[in-house]
Amino acid sequence: MHIDFLREVFRENRAAASFVFQDTVYSYDWLLRRIDEDREYLTQSRLPPGSVVMLHADFSPHAMATMLCLMERGDIIVPVAPDSEHSADPYAEIAAVDFDLRRSGDKWHVQPRTSHIKHPLLSALTDTGHPGLVLFSSGTTGEPKGVLHDLTRLLRKYRTRRHCHRTLAFLLFDHIGGIDTALYSLANGSCLVLAEDRSPDRVCQAIERHRVAVLPAAPTFLNLLAISGAWQRYDLSSLEIVTYGAEMMPESTLRRCREMFPGVALMQKYGTSEVGTLRSKSRSSDSLWVKLGGEGYRTRIVDGKLEIKAESSMLGYLNAESPFTPDGWFKTGDLVEVDGEFIRFLGRDSDVINVGGRKVNPAEVESLIAGLANIKDVVVFGKPNPLMGQVVHAIVRTIDDEDAGQLQRRVRAACSEALDKHKVPMTVEITDRPLSSERFKQLRREPSRR
């Protein structure tokens, strides 16, 4: 019932490819049969409809078929990708998970969990018989929040047929962007190419081999792709669109993307775990100005920060206070500037550095440093200072070895020439440790010391 409109698309495209995985093509006919087989298996396994199910998986045809089956049954799905396995138990407690579902070999295995007291929002959703989705925020600067969605609301926007493009699934299975990519592709009878390895060479290899038209990616990955040179080693002529989001896009990285993909449309995407993914329109491929909205979404700017009112908004957090205003607007915490219908993101309000009462957006400093020679990656944040409250601190990874003193002088000189004095990093540190997570999302904090 809940995915009848998707089943209709699948039936119309029975012979077409729904997925490519490990160089094997899976048809929409296969997907329909797999959903039915999973439904029978879960019934035989005595997993009652309406259960809270933690689905341990990355993108694969079988994982997507099972997720669709759980939606159809009215279950509440808690997807957990492999790189989150170390946090699965705390997540399970927050979401009051009833069953774990893991795939081993060619079979799924159902394992009951000890019952937990369910959050009232979970109980209320179960009573409606609607399927649900629990996502966890990335938690790069704090404890991850459990986001609960009513999937009947989240699925509504996919009922409108749009473009059919062969797309690479880059963002992860438990990320709102990854789920949006998959549902958009399936709702339009498209083919989703599932990447086994998200390294630049393997991604480019998949694009070349399977003639991918759309690449959704994070700016951190696109920067890594440019530095690696992998884009020059493969035929990427099939690409028509590269979308980017999930974090700030430095202007220097956008310029590199224009060089890598001169004939490709570069489009900024925006979404959050709390409200889903909005339709967006970039002013141009070389612009960071973007127009957001679309059916079911409204936006407004309050005190320089973006707020969103959406039909697809989450029901609430399972372990945190509500981020909504009394009249239902979601406070994103994203700082923006406005030019007519377009906005440009400046960074997160929570990331702002307070230097003697003057504010510094780390993204502005990072963008400048990222454009300098021999810089592979950079992160900027505030360090406590007894006189100024905070000072600006930069950590960089270089492409080639460079003397630390020379690098600090070079970075500070470039920043002094282009930025106000209080925005210039007081200290510049070189590291060989990753400055982004395994999800290619920037970690705005000091890297752990192993």
Between CA 226 and CA 324 the distance in angstroms is 39
User: What values do phi and psi take at 313, rounded to 5?
Assistant: -60, 150
**Average pLDDT of the residues in 409-434:** 92
Q: What is the pLDDT of residues 71-97, one digit of tens each?
A: 999 999 999 987 654 457 888 999 999
Query: From the CB of residue 11, how many other CB atoms can be counted at a distance below 10 Å?
Result: 11
What confidence category does residue 171 fall into, taking pLDDT thresholds of 50, 70 and 90?
Answer: confident
Q: Do the Cβ atoms of 345 and 287 come closer than 8 Å?
A: no
What confidence category does residue 447 fall into, taking pLDDT thresholds of 50, 70 and 90?
Answer: very low
Q: What is the pLDDT of residues 241-293, one digit of tens each?
A: 999 987 888 888 899 999 999 989 999 999 899 998 888 999 999 899 999 98
**Average pLDDT of the residues in 301-318:** 93
* pLDDT recorded at residue 184: 94
Between CA 310 and CA 298 the distance in angstroms is 6
**Average pLDDT of the residues in 231-239:** 96
Going by the DSSP 8-state scheme, the letter that residue 143 receives in this structure is: P
Between CA 53 and CA 46 the distance in angstroms is 13
* pLDDT recorded at residue 430: 92
In CATH terms, the superfamily for domain 1-347 is: ANL, N-terminal domain (3.40.50.12780)
**Average pLDDT of the residues in 10-17:** 97
Whole-prediction pTM value? Answer: 0.88
Q: What is the pLDDT of residues 139-155, one digit of tens each?
A: 544 578 899 999 999 99
Contacts of 303 (CB under 8 A, 6+ apart): none
- Specify the DSSP element, H or E, that contains 321: none
Domain definitions of the chain by residue range: 1-347, 352-430
What confidence category does residue 448 fall into, taking pLDDT thresholds of 50, 70 and 90?
Answer: very low
Nearest Cα residue to 102 out of 115, 111, 92, 112: 111
Instruction: Compute, in degrees rounded to 10, the torsion defined by CA atoms 285, 364, 180, 116.
Output: 180
Going by the DSSP 8-state scheme, the letter that residue 448 receives in this structure is: P
Q: For residue 43, what are its two tokens?
A: 């019934």
The backbone region for 416, taken as left when phi is positive above 0, alpha when psi lies in -120 to 50, beta otherwise, is alpha
| β-bridge pairing 17-21 and 24-27 | antiparallel
Q: Does the pLDDT at position 438 exceed 70?
A: no
User: What values do phi and psi take at 45, rounded to 5?
Assistant: -80, 5
Q: Which CATH architecture has domain 352-430?
A: 2-Layer Sandwich (3.30)
* pLDDT recorded at residue 252: 86
Q: For residue 143, what are its two tokens?
A: 């404890």
User: What values do phi and psi take at 38, rounded to 5?
Assistant: -65, -40
- Using DSSP's 3-state secondary structure scheme, residue 334 falls into strand
Nearest Cα residue to 391 out of 365, 359, 426: 426
* pLDDT recorded at residue 450: 37
Instruction: Tell me the CA distances in angstroms from 235 to 171, 261, 272, one per residue in order.
Output: 22, 11, 33
* pLDDT recorded at residue 174: 87
What confidence category does residue 442 fall into, taking pLDDT thresholds of 50, 70 and 90?
Answer: low
* pLDDT recorded at residue 437: 67
* pLDDT recorded at residue 188: 96
* pLDDT recorded at residue 344: 93
Between CA 258 and CA 422 the distance in angstroms is 32
Provide the CA 274 distance to its chain's centre, in angstroms.
Answer: 12
Query: From the CB of residue 22, how many other CB atoms can be counted at a distance below 10 Å?
Result: 8
Q: How far apart are the first and last CA of the chain?
A: 50
* pLDDT recorded at residue 349: 87
Between CA 47 and CA 20 the distance in angstroms is 30
**Average pLDDT of the residues in 188-192:** 96
Average pLDDT, the chain: 90
**Average pLDDT of the residues in 28-38:** 97
* pLDDT recorded at residue 116: 74
Rounded to the nearest 10 degrees, what angle do helices 251-260 and 362-370 cross at? 40
- Using DSSP's 3-state secondary structure scheme, residue 168 falls into strand
**Average pLDDT of the residues in 167-194:** 92
Instruction: Tell me the CA distances in angstroms from 348 to 247, 305, 334, one per residue in order.
Output: 10, 9, 5
User: What values do phi and psi take at 90, rounded to 5?
Assistant: -60, -40
Between CA 343 and CA 87 the distance in angstroms is 35
Give alpha helix (H) positions in 263-383: 362-370
